[in-house]
Amino acid sequence: MNSTNKLVEEIRQRFEIIDVIHPDDQQVILDIDKMHLHTLLSHLKADGFRQLSLLSAVDWIKDNIFELVYIVFNWDTGVHVLARVKLPRDNPRFRTITPIYPGAQYYERDVHEFFGIEFEGNPMSYKPLFLELWDEMPPMRKDFDPEAYSREKFPERVYVPHFVPKVEVIE
Amino acid sequence: MTFDIVVILMFLGAFSAYLISKASLKAGAYATTVFSLGALAVLLMGRSEIGSEFSVLFMNFEVTVIGWYFSGVMVLVYAMTSFFNSFWMDKMMYPGSYNFLYLFSLAGTLGLFFASDLITLFIFWEVVVWSSTFIIPMGKSRRAAVVYYTISSIGSMATLYGIMLVYRISGTLVIQEAFVPLKEDPLTATVVFVIFVMAGLTKIGIFPFHIWLPLAHGSAPHTFSPVLSGGLVKMGAFIAYMSVAILPAYEAFEGSLKIMGIPLQLYFLMILGAISIVLGTLMAIKQEDAKKLIAYSSVANGGYILIGILMMDQLSFAGSMMHLFNHAIASAAAFLAIAVVAYRTGTTKISELGGMIHRMPLTYLTYLIAIISLAGIPPMGGFVSKWLIIQGLADRGLMFMALAAFFGSIGSFLYVFRPLAAVFLGQLKPEHEHLKSEPLMMKIPMVILMVLILYFGVLPKWLLGIIGEIQVAAGIEPVMMSGNTILAVNGVLNTLNVFMIFGFGFLISLIIFLLMQKSRRVGLMDTYTSAEFIYTPELYHYAGAFYAPFERLYQNHPSVEKFLGAIAWKFHELGTVVNALFFSHKPAVTVFWTSVILVMITLGGAGI
Amino acid sequence: MNLVNFAYGLLLLLAAFVFQTTLTGINRKVVARLQRRRGPKFYQQFIDIFKALSKGSTTHGWVFDFGVIMALGGIMATAIFIPFGPLKAVPGMDNIFIIAYVLAVGMLGMAMSASGSGNPWASIGVSRALTNMLAYDIPFMMVVFGLIFAFDSSSLSGLAAIQREGGLLGWNVLRFPLGGIVAMISLQGMLGKKPFDSFIAPAEIASGPMVEYGGRHLGMLFLLHEYSTFIEVSLIVHLFFGGGATVLEFMVKYAVIYTFLNLVSNVLPRFKIDQAVTFFYKVPLAMAVVQTFLIIFLGMGVA
Amino acid sequence: MTTNAKDVRKTWEKIADYFRAHSIWMKWYCTGCGAIEMPPTMTSRFDMERLGMGPMATPRQADVLLITGYLSAKTLRRVIYSYEQMQDPKYVVGFGSCTLNGGIYFDSYATMTRLDHYLPVDLYIAGCMPRPEAIMNSFDTLIKMIEKGEAKGWKHYQENHEWYRRNQLHSLKEVYVKDEFHE
């Protein structure tokens, strides 16, 4: 826990951290205000966290927020840092992190495509990535009904039962 | 007395072509066609007058069989290429001069082949060199002309020096008599031989004098490259023939060390020929420009011709003489096909082209037949000549020459196939979608050349008959034929039978093909793409670095060009030093150095 | 040359097809047994070929068709030149250089047709195949050159007859063992068997030149493959194993050599194309040059 | 099966069908997890080559399009493209319950639920996933079907092309798409 403790202490001194969780001795989860995320990531990158392992989103539909998740990794110490920020669910917008991690390009396109979150400053993120010719609401949003979509788009096989066994319910 | 008229007429024709060009460029271009075709007709009709002698002014000529044969090859290539001249008239800077020089160089070659004394030979040599030097920069590059002229002057100077040497020894300039006294003096004979052969090597483009070929052929006007490669290169073969046959080398070098029955001097030259084959092949494989590729193939084929001529025997020599003709028409045809493509698309870069077969099928066929002949595959002419050369080598057991010959002939599949696949086959680029087919005037020479290549591959009797006469004249056993069968020491070749069996196989194959279900025609982009949808034909075309894995094996090779470039650079630096020493801003320095040198010369002269 | 020659030629083609295709089928079974499988029926290869011929096909233009016809035609013509044991369709035409060069017609036809499909995989395959050819052919031709010099004959049946005069020890593979090894390695390359099969690699370049073929085109290519195998193995049998005084002797020798090469092929991995070139120029070419040198300058083994 | 004039095969077709039945070259469209069952089927334990079957590199050479596993909207486009590149006669085998009825992800926004809606499937192999025994058994069935001339999916596709095309367009909007790498 030493290495991460030191890291967290240092970050706490510099940034306003809402919450810190240690799920594992090499992993740290930081909840942070969205104003400070970019400075945090720049700091972490300068500190050796050269790899952006993942950028994804979580749809907290009851709280009416989107949570963006950034995972960065330090190859020297083997520490994962997961930074979370919260966005309002209606008209979700956030600034891009491609100037810090250029590899975020495709993650941002991915998140934009599946959640509809817009990344300002990254014009490429508006291009479709995986879903060809998608015309509905972004499919990973919780209010999207995949089953209805599937029924409408992809007709299901209708089974004609040849033989229905009689089931007697024994009290 | 038809031949003197031809030579004179060609010179007059050159001037009249220039005058006609002043009136109308197209008419001037057609005049080159008319004159060269006329020369061809006269040559063919005048076969009975072989052996006649004539003089014009102070120049003496004699029509020998070999001269007649060489001039026939040359005029044929010139005549066929001249059909293309009219299409480039508006693209040249000096079209009138081009027409003039075109015929002028032809006249020069004719005079060269008929010359019966050494001065005449030299005069016409210079005529050809100068006229072609002025044509080459009309294409892409001026540097090419400089390199061409430099290498040619090595040849010219060598010839001139050789002539003077011979004259000092024998006191005559008549070719047939001048070399006779040399037989008794092997050392002088070696010197004369090396000098004359060097002149030949510079023209035929043998290593290490090959560097001008790709440069000049690659950047000459598209209509002159076929002539350079098919025609003018053969002048070198003529000089090489002279130095071996007329000298005669085998008698003169009777006493020197022999390897497998070949005198050391000749063996050394053969090794140069072998190096040229390997080098030309390797370099041709990695060229990105179609014209340069064929130019390097000329280097390789020059190696074959040289080896064959040096052998001076029944088979290889005949093969070499025949290869000279086959290579002339095949490489002219290949260059012409590329010229058609360049005329329609404006480029000869392999990677910028593709799918030309869908726009100009006849050009494709011409190129195909030409390269089959160049690669020496039956039933085309090139096969017969390469077969003869290799049979001769096998008879003598010259294994290293044979190694080079095998490498060259299999390597030629690689390089000739590359433009075929990347320029003519493959995906058609969108910008070439609306290209027109080749014009009629371009079709005529291509069809004639195709027919000739095929004809002499199937029925080489007539050609080998003439070659037999050449061999008799050179004092060696002529190549034997019975019917259509060529009789070699180690085996026989009946070209007609090969052709017929090939036709039979083709027929069976065609029947199998036609018996089965008809095919469905699909577009070029409807191919297996790992199920991916692709809409960019230009990216879906494999053309650049065709043999990348193979090229990688010899990419860091030593190069004569680099070596010569380094020498040139050192020379340049020396010039700068001299310039700085002599021509500084103080006149006193110049005066000082001049007087120092004058004193040294005077003292040195006194010392002697 | 008259009609009888052509009739013989046709018969020879049929015999070669039946023989080689059966042998291929048997070899598929042998390989299967090597891998502890049951393997297909011995006539499976026939079924495959006829099935391919019976199917519909697509074409990418006239050169795509023409190339296939030219390839099969050229290879069939070459097969006619090959003596089937003592049987010859056309006498006096079994010159080794003629065969080596007529064989190239077929190669060129196939390469042309493959590139004519417009598929880059095909062009890559062709470029690899040609590079491969430059690698294996030169050592082979060098050895053949030595043989021709030694026996003053470039006729296949002539060379075979000379060997048979000396009995078993007269076989060139025993007289010139270095050359024999070179020829066997080169044959492996000619047949496109492992480790020299990178030009038809199915997983990397989607079977290379064959990528666009289906239906009758593919069937004809299978025929072509059978014939070229016949030609190439026959060359070795005639040049190094004394040919055949009878048809049966020829067939037995042929089958043994072919099966041996197949077994070797099945325990080897694959060379990259530049590795193949380097290998051929380092080992077999050196051996071939040494062998030819021994023949020409020392007369070793010539008797 | 009713026999009408169209179904009567000519003699040469019967012979051809014999060849086609005993030489089955497959293009495996390995879209999903089912592909893992193919290596044991091919190698010495079950040895599919003894039935004359084998994998082929490209759809041009293949007779059977074997779809092993889930098809998403994106892969279905490629499968249809591959199918159309194959040469007649061609057969489609749907492998696993995912091609049959959508399997466990029947309600996903991305996966197809029914392959025969888009392509003429000659044979389904049920199971999630079917074991090699099931595969061998089904190929045995396929061989018998081809030999009898019952596997006529490719003809059905030709005759009812409009119906298939309508279904494809309904689910996919466009079959031939331009994706970003070719803009």
Q: What is the pLDDT of residues A27-43, one digit of tens each?
A: 888 888 888 888 888 88
| CA-based nearest distance B91→chain D, Å | 37
Q: How big is the CA angle at D158 (ends D152 and D160), to the nearest 5 degrees?
A: 95
CB interface of D with C, residues 126-145, below 8 Å: none
In this prediction, residues C163-190 reach a mean pLDDT of 84
Nearest-CB residue to D179 (from A132, A144, A155) = A132
What pLDDT, in 10s, does the model give residues D79-117? 888 888 888 888 998 888 888 888 888 888 888 888 888
B479 and B471 Cβ atoms separated by less than 8 Å? yes
DSSP alpha helix (H) spans, B516-543: none
Cβ contacts (< 8 Å) between C155 and chain B: which residues? Answer: 491
Q: Is C95 left (phi over 0), alpha (psi -120 to 50) or beta?
A: beta
CB interface of B with C, residues 251-310, below 8 Å: 260
d(CA B554, CA C293): 26
pLDDT at D2 over 50: no
d(CA B190, CA B202): 18
Find the closest chain C residue to B282 by CA distance. C134
d(CA B305, CA B318): 10
Residue A14 belongs to a domain: yes
| Per-chain mean pLDDT for chain B | 81
Nearest-CB residue to D117 (from A131, A132, A155) = A155
* pLDDT score of B297: 85
Chain D residues whose C-beta sits inside 8 Å of any chain B C-beta: 29, 58-60, 77-79, 81-82, 85, 176-179, 182
Q: Read off the tokens for D44.
A: 């010495």
Which of D12, D60, D72, D78 to mutate to test binding with chain B, by most B CBs within 10 Å of its CB?
D78
* pLDDT score of A126: 83
d(CA A93, CA B515): 67
Residue A50 belongs to a domain: yes
Return the sign of the alpha-carbon dihedral for residues B337, B325, B226, B28.
negative
Chain D contact for C35, CB < 8 A? yes
* Domain spans in chain D, listed from the N-terminal domain onward: 25-182
pLDDT at D5 over 60: no
d(CA A92, CA A96): 13
**Which contacts of B284-289 are long-range, i.e. CB under 8 A and separated by 24 or more positions?**
B284/B411, B284/B412, B284/B415, B285/B411, B285/B414, B285/B415, B285/B418, B285/B547, B285/B550, B285/B551, B286/B547, B286/B551, B287/B214, B287/B350, B287/B415, B288/B349, B288/B350, B288/B351, B288/B544, B289/B218, B289/B348, B289/B349, B289/B350
Radius of gyration of chain C (CA): 19
In this prediction, residues D43-49 reach a mean pLDDT of 86
| CA-based nearest distance D101→chain C, Å | 31
C134 and B550 Cβ atoms separated by less than 8 Å? yes
- Measured in residues, chain B has a length of 608
* pLDDT score of D9: 67
In this prediction, residues D22-33 reach a mean pLDDT of 83
In this prediction, residues A12-34 reach a mean pLDDT of 84
| CA-based nearest distance D178→chain B, Å | 7
* pLDDT score of D183: 47
Domain count, chain A: 1
Between chain A and chain C, are at least 3 CB pairs below 8 A?
no
Q: Which residues contact A50 (CB under 8 A, 6 or more apart)?
A: A73, A74, A75
D57 and C50 within 8 Å at the Cβ level: the answer is no
B417 and C126 within 8 Å at the Cβ level: the answer is yes
Find the closest chain D residue to A148 by CA distance. D107
* pLDDT score of B562: 79
Cβ contacts (< 8 Å) between A142 and chain D: which residues? Answer: none
C207 and D23 within 8 Å at the Cβ level: the answer is no
Tokens 């209509």 appear where? Answer: B223
Q: How many CB atoms lie within 10 A of CB C260?
A: 11
A155 and D113 within 8 Å at the Cβ level: the answer is yes
Q: Read off the tokens for B124.
A: 């016409």
pLDDT band at B121 (very low <50, low <70, confident <90, very high): confident
Find the closest chain C residue to B540 by CA distance. C120
**B174: β partners:** B117
Chains in contact with chain D (at least 3 beta-carbon pairs closer than 8 A):
A, B, C
Return the sign of the alpha-carbon dihedral for residues D138, D139, D142, D148.
negative
Cβ contacts (< 8 Å) between B500 and chain C: which residues? Answer: 1
Radius of gyration of chain B (CA): 26
B532 and D78 within 8 Å at the Cβ level: the answer is yes
Find the closest chain D residue to C47 by CA distance. D19
Return the CATH number at A86.
3.30.460.80
Q: How many CB atoms lie within 10 A of CB C1?
A: 15
Nearest CA-CA partner of B386 in B303, B310, B455: B303
Q: Chains B, C: CB contacts under 8 A, how many?
A: 257
D87 and C56 within 8 Å at the Cβ level: the answer is yes
What pLDDT, in 10s, does the model give residues C119-128? 888 888 888 8
A68 and A84 Cβ atoms separated by less than 8 Å? yes
DSSP string, B185-203: -HHHHHHHHHHHHHHHHHH
DSSP state of D46: T
**Burial environment of residue B38 by CB neighbours within 10 A (0 to 12, 13 to 18, 19 or more):** middle
Q: Which residues contact B79 (CB under 8 A, 6 or more apart)?
A: B33, B36, B37, B39, B40, B445
pLDDT band at A127 (very low <50, low <70, confident <90, very high): confident
* pLDDT score of B551: 83
D79 and B532 within 8 Å at the Cβ level: the answer is no
| CA-based nearest distance B509→chain C, Å | 5
Residue A136 belongs to a domain: yes
The 3-state secondary structure of chain C reads CCHHHHHHHHHHHHHHHHHHHHHHHHHHHHHHHHCCCCCCCCCHHHHHHHHHHHCCEEECCHHHHHHHHHHHHHHHHHHHHCCECCECCCCCCCEHHHHHHHHHHHHHHHHHHHHHCCCHHHHHHHHHHHHHHHHHHHHHHHHHHHHHHHHCCCEHHHHHHHHHHCCHHHCHHHHCHHHHHHHHHHHHHHCCCCCCCHHHCHHHHCCHHHHHCCHHHHHHHHHHHHHHHHHHHHHHHHHHCCCCCCHHHHHHHHHHHHHHHHHHHHCCCCCCHHHHHHHHHHCHHHHHHHHHHHHHHHCCCCC
D77 and B526 within 8 Å at the Cβ level: the answer is no
Torsion of CA B299, B301, B305, B310, to 10 degrees: 60
B530 and C205 Cβ atoms separated by less than 8 Å? no
* Mutual angle of helices B399-419 and C284-293, in 10-degree steps: 140
What pLDDT, in 10s, does the model give residues B346-368? 888 888 888 888 888 888 888 88
Chain A contact for D79, CB < 8 A? no
Which of C64, C95, C140, C227 to mutate to test binding with chain B, by most B CBs within 10 Å of its CB?
C95
* pLDDT score of D7: 55
d(CA B498, CA B485): 10
d(CA C212, CA B346): 31
Radius of gyration of chain D (CA): 17
DSSP alpha helix (H) spans, chain D: 11-22, 38-42, 73-85, 97-101, 132-148, 153-159, 161-172
pLDDT band at B605 (very low <50, low <70, confident <90, very high): low
| CA-based nearest distance C253→chain B, Å | 26
Between chain B and chain C, are at least 3 CB pairs below 8 A?
yes
Chain B contact for C291, CB < 8 A? no
In this prediction, residues C183-192 reach a mean pLDDT of 88
A150 and D173 within 8 Å at the Cβ level: the answer is no
Find the closest chain A residue to D179 by CA distance. A132
d(CA B114, CA B119): 12
B533 and D182 within 8 Å at the Cβ level: the answer is yes
D25-182 CATH: 3.40.50.12280
What pLDDT, in 10s, does the model give residues B493-548? 787 888 888 888 888 888 888 888 788 888 788 888 887 888 888 788 888 778 88
Nearest-CB residue to C119 (from B394, B422, B527) = B527
Q: How many CB atoms lie within 10 A of CB B589?
A: 14
C48 and D52 within 8 Å at the Cβ level: the answer is yes
B498 and C293 within 8 Å at the Cβ level: the answer is no
D47 and C39 within 8 Å at the Cβ level: the answer is yes
pLDDT at C177 over 80: yes
Return the sign of the alpha-carbon dihedral for residues C90, C92, C93, C94.
positive
pLDDT at A122 over 80: yes
CB interface of C with D, residues 197-256, below 8 Å: 202-203, 206-207, 210-215, 218
Chain C contact for B538, CB < 8 A? no
The pairing of strands D24-29 and D53-55 is: parallel
* pLDDT score of D6: 53
Domain span at residue A57 reads: 2-147
Residue type, B501: I
Which of D81, D119, D175, D183 to mutate to test binding with chain B, by most B CBs within 10 Å of its CB?
D81
D101 and A130 within 8 Å at the Cβ level: the answer is no
The pairing of strands D91-95 and D123-125 is: parallel
**Burial environment of residue C120 by CB neighbours within 10 A (0 to 12, 13 to 18, 19 or more):** buried
D87 and C214 within 8 Å at the Cβ level: the answer is yes
d(CA C220, CA B441): 39
Cβ contacts (< 8 Å) between D77 and chain B: which residues? Answer: 533
d(CA B550, CA B370): 25
Chain A contact for D101, CB < 8 A? yes
Q: Which of A143-152, B204-213, C194-203 has the highest mean pLDDT?
A: A143-152
Q: Would you give the distance in Å from CA C280 to the centre of its chain? A: 17
Chain C contact for D11, CB < 8 A? no
* pLDDT score of B228: 79
Cβ contacts (< 8 Å) between B540 and chain D: which residues? Answer: none
d(CA C180, CA C228): 20
What pLDDT, in 10s, does the model give residues A66-111? 999 999 998 988 888 898 998 888 888 888 888 888 888 889 888 9
| CA-based nearest distance D36→chain C, Å | 17
**B494: β partners:** B485
pTM: 0.85
B502 and C73 within 8 Å at the Cβ level: the answer is yes
